[in-house]
Amino acid sequence: MAHELPPLPYDYAALEPVIDSQTMKLHHDMHHAAYVKNLNAAIEKHPELASKSAEDLVRGINTVPEDIRGAVRNNGGGHVNHSMFWKIMKPQGGGAPAGKLADAIKSTFGDLKTFQEKFNDAGVKQFGSGWAWLTSNKGALAISSTANQDNPMTQGLYPVMGNDVWEHAYYLKYQNRRAEYLTAWWNAVNWEEVARRYDASLK
Ligand code: MN3
């Protein structure tokens, strides 16, 4: 079963004004689609991996055959990261989380605003392309960033939420103002989905 591009769960324009329609169309239809296509091309060389999910491939990247490891790391990671990314955003998003995630953010970072500032800081400081992350290690929260399409799952962590800081995610609207994009992005966050992911990390 080949890996498939998941449909966007809303219209291209649904996240305006936080993310413009053209960026969403290019990001999903071109960038994410390319990761899926290139992942499938890599797996074709190793049919024994055909039954593995993209998450399993990324989690076990060090056991992937060396001749396709780089391709799976980049394109499998790209597929996993973007599949999460579309879902943790929604039209009229933003606000504040509830439930266990809200409690964990408060006990770890003090308050939501401090968490958001630290997360944005990780995104701003990520040199070049990559992602800012909130991860859970059996419930223990931490902020980090990765280069390229690397995913914290490779380090045994559960990615609760991540923001894409590749220029393709924001450059048409925000140009070089990555910090402005990171600040605005919170207004598109789907906290229900992020909280669901945190709950899943506890199991
Ligand atoms: Mn991207």
> pLDDT tens-digit profile of 76-94?
999 999 999 999 999 999 9
Q: Where are the beta strands (DSSP E) in the chain?
A: 130-137, 140-147, 158-164
Q: What separation in Å is there between the alpha carbon of 110 and the centre of ligand 1?
A: 30
Which segments of the chain belong to CATH 3.55.40.20?
A: 99-201
What is the CATH T-level fold of the domain 21-87, as seen in this structure? Helix Hairpins (1.10.287)
What average pLDDT does the segment 98-122 reach?
98
> pLDDT tens-digit profile of 44-67?
999 999 999 999 999 999 999 999
pLDDT of the residue at 181:
98
> pLDDT tens-digit profile of 130-178?
999 999 999 999 999 999 999 999 999 999 999 999 999 999 999 999 9
Amino acid of residue 38 = N
Q: What separation in Å is there between the alpha carbon of 131 and the centre of ligand 1?
A: 9
pLDDT surpasses 80 at 1: no
Q: What separation in Å is there between the alpha carbon of 141 and the centre of ligand 1?
A: 23
Q: What separation in Å is there between the alpha carbon of 164 and the centre of ligand 1?
A: 6
String of DSSP letters for 1-15:
----PPPPSS-TTTT
Q: Is the domain defined by 99-201 classed in CATH 3.55.40.20?
A: yes
